[in-house]
Amino acid sequence: MQFSKGHGTENDFVLLPDPDATLDLTPARVAALCDRRRGLGADGVLRVVRWAALEDEDGPAPEPGVEWFMDYRNADGTAVEMCGNGVRVFARYLQHAGWLGGSETPVGTRSGVRVVRMDPTSADGEISVDMGPAIVGEHSTASVDGALFPGVAVDVGNPHLACVTGHHIDALDLTAAPGHDRALFPHGVNVEFVSPLVATGGGSDGEVTMRVHERGVGETRSCGTGTVAAAVAALRDADRHTGTVAVHTPGGRLRVTVEAATTVLHGPAVLVAHGELTRSWWEAAGREPARMSS
């Protein structure tokens, strides 16, 4: 059983090539793979599968002309709608495997099709993903250690609560999930803490710093969809609806272009290693109860 390991600004993933959908990828196996002590260690698992092969599984129906589907699972084993860093790493793997049709390819996700573009002129192999429109919802609050942080709900194919704050975000303890309105987010939410937009040059309209707590994972070094939500919220906080924002995460720098009809995420994607899973380990992991990655 082959695997690869990759990351996008240190948001890391185990990739499982399964073009014909033959793997029994249970929540227990996902959790074991992502565990940083008893497994390979990752924020999530990306199963690389042909969309047509998933017809017998729950999920969106295949769309014409889209061969590959990103079956993304969080570290706790739950299936998730979308992952912006993950889809770039997924595209990098398709390129490595010779399965990428060209510099631009559509990828199926549980949030719909995302078009991925490889930039051959970029020194670090930047990959751009058309993330679709970000839908701004209700205002709400997140709580950390009893302190309340106003924020806004932003749907980027998955739910986010982006809180723009002048608070020193490096001081926040994000070990536990921030408190949130469970009526507004019944299935949980990714929570971003974002510094106010600061004007800069260099091809962007401004820059922000972000930290994020992802549902089903914990605090991560970066989050692609969270980066988009952070950029949208920071622009709104500055009384703007469009623009290009540089977002600094603990794992690195990303750029987000917010347009009237869509958003585009730009950033690196790196494959770190390729290897083979031990069959006995895989079978034993399938018999274990799922538990959170550590």
Report the Cα 55 to chain-centroid distance in Å: 24
Q: Which of 21, 134, 208, 223 is catalytic?
A: 223
Q: Tell me whether residue 223 is one of the annotated catalytic residues.
A: yes
Q: Rounded CA gap, 119 and 116, in Å? A: 10
Nearest to residue 278, comparing CAs of 26, 20, 33? 33
Q: Rounded CA gap, 75 and 217, in Å? A: 5
* Phi, psi of 107, deg, nearest 5: -125, 130
CA 44, 50, 52, 54 torsion-angle sign: negative
**Token representation of residue 173:** 């303890």
Distances in whole angstroms, Cα of residue 52 to Cα of each of 28, 83, 97, 257: 25, 21, 19, 32
How many residues would you count in the chain? 294
Which residues, 6 or more positions from 47, have their beta carbon under 8 angstroms from its beta carbon?
Answer: 15, 16, 18, 23, 25, 70, 71, 72, 73
Which residues, 6 or more positions from 154, have their beta carbon under 8 angstroms from its beta carbon?
Answer: 134, 135, 136, 137, 160, 161, 162, 228, 229, 232, 233
Residue labelled with tokens 């990098």? 92
DSSP assignment letter at 198: B
Q: Tell me whether residue 163 is one of the annotated catalytic residues.
A: no
Q: Rounded CA gap, 170 and 280, in Å? A: 42
Distances in whole angstroms, Cα of residue 219 to Cα of each of 44, 53, 129, 134: 13, 33, 23, 22
Q: Which of 16, 34, 46, 83 is catalytic?
A: 83
Which positions are annotated as active-site residues?
83, 223
